[in-house]
C-alpha cells in the first residue's frame, strides 16, 4: 500500500507540473488569428426581420454595442430574438488554409450568416443541426466555406434568440476569424487543460478516500474526498470531452445544474469537518431543499427555467463563502495554523469567484482565473490536511514515547522500592528474630526501638518514591503564586540547621510553584546524603536578569568523605540506595522550575552546589495583591496519603 501511495504522489506531482505548464499556454487570443472581431463597432437591433441576414442590408443606423459582452446590461427586459451585424474589411482575396469563425460562448440559440449565406446554427453546420437542438454556453467554431470571404467589405450577421434572465449574446471570446486548425487546436487545448485539472482533483479525492479507509477517525478526509469528487464530476459535465460519451447536451446540462445545487452543501460539510464545527441549524433541510430542486428540474425539463432559477439561487454560494471567510478569520485570530493556510486559499478562491461572476455578467473583460484558484485551493487544503496528519502522527509517536517512559518509570520505581525497602525489611526481620534469643529487657527494648525506626524510615522512603513518580509524569507546575521571596526563604531556612546569608532586596518577588520551591530547598538542606558533612553554608543572591542564585557549600573534615559525596552526586544510578531516589526528586523539581544545577569539588574539601531560578523584577510587584505571612506558616514536606499499617509491639511466648 505504501508503494501505491508513492505512485499516486508522483502522479499528482507530474499532473500538477503539466497543468501549471498548460495554464499559461492558453489565451483568449489565438496566435494564428487572421482578423480580430472583438471590438465595439457591432450593431444591434431588437427586432426580427429575415432581411437582416442579407449582406446588402444597411445596419449603420443601428445601436452600437461592445462584443463580447452581456447584452442584458443593455436591455434587461428583452426576451426573444435580436440581431447583431458587423462589417469588416479584408485585403487578401484568396486564402490557402481552411478558415473558421470563432464566436466565443453564446446564450442561447444562434444562426450565423456570412455575406448572406448561413454557415452555422447553435454551434453546428446547418446540415448537421437537428430540430430544437441547443448548445448554449459552448464555444462556437463555424467552418467558413471556401470562397465565401471576399476581398474588401464582408458582412457578418447573427440572429440570437435568448430567454435567459441573466445572460444574452456573445458573453465571452475569442471572436474573430482564424485558421480552422488553430481554432480547433484552441478548443482542444482548453478541454485538455480542464481534463488535467479534473484528473488532479480526482486523484486527490481517491487518495483521501484511501487515507480515510486506513484512518477512520479522520472524518475530514472523507468529507473532502466527497466534495472534491463531486466537483470533478461537475467540471466534466462542462468539458467538451463529455460528448465522447454521449451527444445529449441537455442531459449533461441537467447533471451540471444538479451538481451546482449540491456541491455547496458538500463544501459546507467538509468545511465544518475541517474545523470541527457543529452543524448549522436546519443545514440538512438545505440539502433536502436542493435535492427537491433537482426533482423539480426533472418535472419541468426546460433549460431556460433551470438557468433562470440557478441564476437567482446561486446567491447562496456567496453566503456560504461569506460564512467560510468569517469562521476562518476567527480561527486565524486564534492562531490556528490550518486556518492560516485555509484562509490564503479561500481569499484567492473568493476573489476568482467574484471575478468570474463579473466576467459572466459582462461587467469586465478579463481571462478567467477560476480554474487556477480552485487548483490552488485544493492543493493548499491538501497540504493542510497532510500537515494535520503529520502532526497527529507526531502526537501519537510522542504519546507512545510517553507510555514507554511511563513503563520505564514503573520499572524504575519498582527497582527503587526493591533496593530501598528490601534492606530495611531484611534488617527488621533479622532484628525481630533476634528478639527471641534476648532475655534482657533492655536489649529487647533497644531492638523494638530499632525496628520502629526502620519502620518510620520505610514510610519516608515510600513518600519519596511516590513523590518521584508524581514529578516524573508532570510536564509543568500545577499552580504558581507571586510572593515576597525574602520572607519565604527565611521562614524555610529558620527550620534547618544551616548557616545562611540572603543578599536579596526585601521587595524581591518570585512567581512560581511554592510547593516545588519549598520541596526543593527542604530536600537539599535535609538531604540524607549530607549526614556526614561537617557544615552546610548557603548564600542566596539575585542579579539584574531576575535570576535567583543559591550556593550551597558543603564541608567535611574527612576529605575522602567529601570526594565520595561529590562522586555520588555526579553518578547516582538507578541501582543506588535511598539517596538516589531523593537526589532524583531534586533534579525533577529543578526541571519543572526551569532551574539550572551545577556542582564542583573545590580543594578536595568542599562540594559547591549552585542552582538558579527565575524571579520577577521589582517593578512587577502587584501592590493590590494581599501578601502571605510566612512567619506563622508551617511548610512541611509534600506527603501523599499513603501509610503503612501502624507499628505494633511484637509479643513472644515465654
The tens digit of pLDDT for each residue in 600-609 reads 988 888 889 9
Window from 76-85, 293-302, 468-477, 569-578 with minimum mean pLDDT = 569-578
pLDDT(508) > 70: yes
Q: Average pLDDT of the chain?
A: 80
The pLDDT of 437-453, averaged and rounded, is 75
Per the structure block, which three cell numbers stand in for 86? Answer: 458587423
pLDDT tens string 370-408 = 778 888 888 888 888 888 888 878 877 877 777 776 677
- Look up the CATH number of domain 481-620: 3.30.565.10
3-state secondary structure of 604: coil
pLDDT(442) > 70: yes
pLDDT(165) > 50: yes
Window from 372-386, 467-481, 637-651 with minimum mean pLDDT = 637-651
Residues in the chain: 654
Confidence at 292, pLDDT banded by 50, 70, 90: very high
Rounded Cα–Cα distance for residues 62 and 526 (Å): 107
Higher pLDDT, residue 647 or 324 = 324
The pLDDT of 310-330, averaged and rounded, is 88
- pLDDT over 90 for what percent of the chain? 18
3-state secondary structure of 56: coil
Nearest by Cα to 606 from 520, 524, 549, 537: 537
pLDDT(621) > 50: no
Plot region of 74 (φ>0 → left; ψ -120 to 50 → alpha; else → beta): alpha
Residue 131 confidence (pLDDT): 66
In sequence order, what are the residues at sequence separation of 6 or more whose Cβ sits closer than 8 angstroms to the Cβ of residue 581? 416, 420, 461, 464, 465, 468
The pLDDT of 42-48, averaged and rounded, is 92
Tell me the Cα Rg of the chain: 43
- pLDDT over 70 for what percent of the chain? 84
Q: Which helix (H) or strand (E) holds 105?
A: strand 99-107
pLDDT(653) > 80: no
Highest mean pLDDT among 72-76, 119-123, 165-169, 525-529: 119-123
Residue 94 confidence (pLDDT): 57
Distance of CA 518 to the CA centre of its chain: 43
Are the CB atoms for 35 and 87 separated by under 8 Å? no
pLDDT tens string 237-269 = 988 888 888 888 889 999 999 999 999 999 999
Residue 634 confidence (pLDDT): 42
pLDDT(31) > 50: no
Sequence spans of domains, the chain: 33-186, 319-473, 481-620
How many CA atoms lie less than 13 Å away from 250 in the CB half-sphere? 13
Rounded Cα–Cα distance for residues 380 and 386 (Å): 10
Highest mean pLDDT among 221-230, 440-449, 518-527: 221-230
Window from 304-308, 334-338, 404-408, 588-592 with minimum mean pLDDT = 404-408
Residue 354 confidence (pLDDT): 83
Residue 233 confidence (pLDDT): 92
Q: Is the pTM of this model over 0.85?
A: no
pLDDT(622) > 90: no
Instruction: Give alpha helix (H) positions in 282-369.
Output: 283-299, 303-313, 315-333, 337-360
pLDDT(113) > 90: yes
Residue 93 confidence (pLDDT): 64
Residue 4 confidence (pLDDT): 44
pLDDT(623) > 50: no
Confidence at 624, pLDDT banded by 50, 70, 90: very low
Window from 12-21, 99-108, 169-178, 421-430 with minimum mean pLDDT = 12-21
The pLDDT of 481-495, averaged and rounded, is 83
The pLDDT of 207-222, averaged and rounded, is 88
246: phi then psi, degrees, rounded to nearest 5: -160, 145
| 33-186, CATH topology level | Jelly Rolls (2.60.120)
Higher pLDDT, residue 307 or 453 = 307
Highest mean pLDDT among 29-33, 73-77, 197-201: 197-201
Residue 327 confidence (pLDDT): 92
Amino acid at each position: 500500500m505504501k508503494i501505491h501511495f508513492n505512485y499516486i504522489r508522483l502522479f499528482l506531482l507530474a499532473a500538477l507540473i503539466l497543468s501549471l505548464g498548460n495554464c499559461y499556454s492558453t489565451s483568449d487570443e489565438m496566435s494564428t488569428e487572421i482578423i480580430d472581431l472583438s471590438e465595439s463597432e457591432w450593431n444591434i437591433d431588437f427586432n426580427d426581420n429575415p432581411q437582416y441576414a442579407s449582406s446588402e442590408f444597411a445596419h449603420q443606423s443601428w445601436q452600437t454595442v461592445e462584443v463580447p459582452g452581456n447584452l442584458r446590461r443593455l436591455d434587461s427586459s428583452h426576451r426573444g430574438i435580436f440581431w447583431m451585424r458587423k462589417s469588416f474589411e479584408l485585403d487578401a482575396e484568396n486564402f490557402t488554409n481552411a478558415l473558421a469563425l470563432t464566436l466565443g460562448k453564446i446564450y442561447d440559440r444562434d444562426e450565423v450568416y456570412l455575406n448572406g449565406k448561413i454557415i452555422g446554427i447553435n454551434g453546428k453546420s446547418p446540415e448537421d443541426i437537428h430540430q430544437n437542438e441547443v448548445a448554449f454556453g459552448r464555444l462556437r467554431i463555424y467552418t467558413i466555406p471556401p470562397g465565401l470571404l471576399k476581398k474588401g467589405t464582408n458582412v457578418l450577421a447573427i440572429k440570437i434568440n435568448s430567454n435567459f434572465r441573466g445572460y444574452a449574446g456573445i458573453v465571452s471570446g475569442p471572436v474573430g476569424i482564424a485558421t480552422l486548425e488553430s481554432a480547433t487546436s484552441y478548443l482542444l487545448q482548453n478541454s485538455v487543460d480542464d481534463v488535467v485539472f479534473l484528473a488532479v482533483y480526482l486523484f486527490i479525492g481517491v487518495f483521501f478516500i484511501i487515507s480515510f479507509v486506513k484512518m477512520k477517525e479522520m472524518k475530514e478526509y472523507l468529507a473532502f474526498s466527497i466534495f472534491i469528487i463531486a466537483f470533478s464530476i461537475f467540471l466534466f459535465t462542462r468539458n467538451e470531452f463529455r460528448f465522447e460519451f454521449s451527444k445529449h447536451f441537455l442531459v449533461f446540462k441537467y447533471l451540471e445544474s444538479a451538481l451546482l445545487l449540491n456541491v455547496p452543501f458538500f463544501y459546507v460539510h467538509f468545511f465544518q469537518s475541517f474545523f470541527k464545527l457543529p452543524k448549522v441549524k436546519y443545514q440538512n433541510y438545505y440539502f433536502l431543499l436542493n435535492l427537491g430542486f433537482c426533482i423539480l428540474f426533472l418535472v419541468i425539463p426546460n433549460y431556460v427555467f433551470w438557468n433562470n432559477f440557478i441564476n437567482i439561487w446561486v446567491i447562496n454560494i456567496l453566503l456560504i463563502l461569506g460564512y467560510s471567510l468569517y469562521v476562518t478569520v476567527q480561527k486565524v485570530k486564534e492562531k490556528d495554523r490550518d486556518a492560516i493556510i485555509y484562509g490564503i486559499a479561500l481569499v484567492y478562491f473568493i476573489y476568482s469567484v467574484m471575478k468570474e461572476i463579473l466576467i459572466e455578467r459582462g461587467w469586465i473583460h478579463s481571462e478567467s482565473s477560476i480554474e487556477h484558484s480552485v487548483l490552488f485551493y485544493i492543493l493548499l487544503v491538501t497540504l493542510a490536511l497532510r500537515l494535520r496528519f503529520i502532526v497527529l502522527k507526531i502526537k501519537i509517536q510522542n504519546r507512545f514515547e510517553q507510555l514507554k517512559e511511563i513503563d520505564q518509570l514503573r520499572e524504575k520505581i519498582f527497582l527503587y522500592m526493591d533496593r530501598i525497602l528490601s534492606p530495611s525489611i531484611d534488617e527488621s526481620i533479622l532484628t525481630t528474630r533476634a528478639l527471641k534469643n534476648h532475655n534482657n529487657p533492655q536489649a529487647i527494648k533497644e531492638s523494638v526501638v530499632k525496628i520502629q525506626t526502620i519502620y518510620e524510615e520505610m514510610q519516608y522512603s515510600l513518600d519519596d518514591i511516590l513523590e518521584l513518580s508524581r514529578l516524573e509524569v508532570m510536564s509543568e507546575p500545577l499552580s504558581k503564586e507571586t510572593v515576597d521571596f525574602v520572607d519565604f526563604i527565611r521562614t524555610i531556612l529558620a527550620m534547618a540547621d544551616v548557616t545562611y546569608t540572603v543578599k536579596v532586596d526585601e521587595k524581591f518577588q518570585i512567581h512560581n510553584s511554592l510547593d516545588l520551591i519549598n520541596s526543593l530547598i527542604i530536600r537539599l538542606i535535609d538531604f540524607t546524603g549530607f549526614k556526614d558533612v561537617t557544615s552546610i553554608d548557603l548564600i542566596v543572591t539575585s542579579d539584574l536578569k531576575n535570576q535567583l542564585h543559591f550556593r550551597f557549600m558543603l564541608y567535611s573534615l574527612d576529605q575522602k568523605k567529601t570526594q565520595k559525596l561529590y562522586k555520588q552526586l555526579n553518578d547516582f544510578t538507578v541501582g543506588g540506595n535511598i539517596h538516589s531516589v531523593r537526589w532524583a526528586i531534586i533534579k525533577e523539581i529543578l526541571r519543572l522550575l526551569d532551574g539550572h544545577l551545577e556542582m564542583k569539588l573545590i580543594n578536595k574539601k568542599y562540594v559547591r552546589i549552585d542552582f538558579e531560578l527565575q524571579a520577577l523584577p521589582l517593578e512587577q510587584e502587584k501592590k493590590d495583591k494581599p501578601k502571605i505571612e510566612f512567619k506563622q506558616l508551617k511548610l512541611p514536606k509534600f506527603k501523599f496519603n499513603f501509610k503503612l499499617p501502624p507499628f505494633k509491639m511484637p509479643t513472644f511466648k515465654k
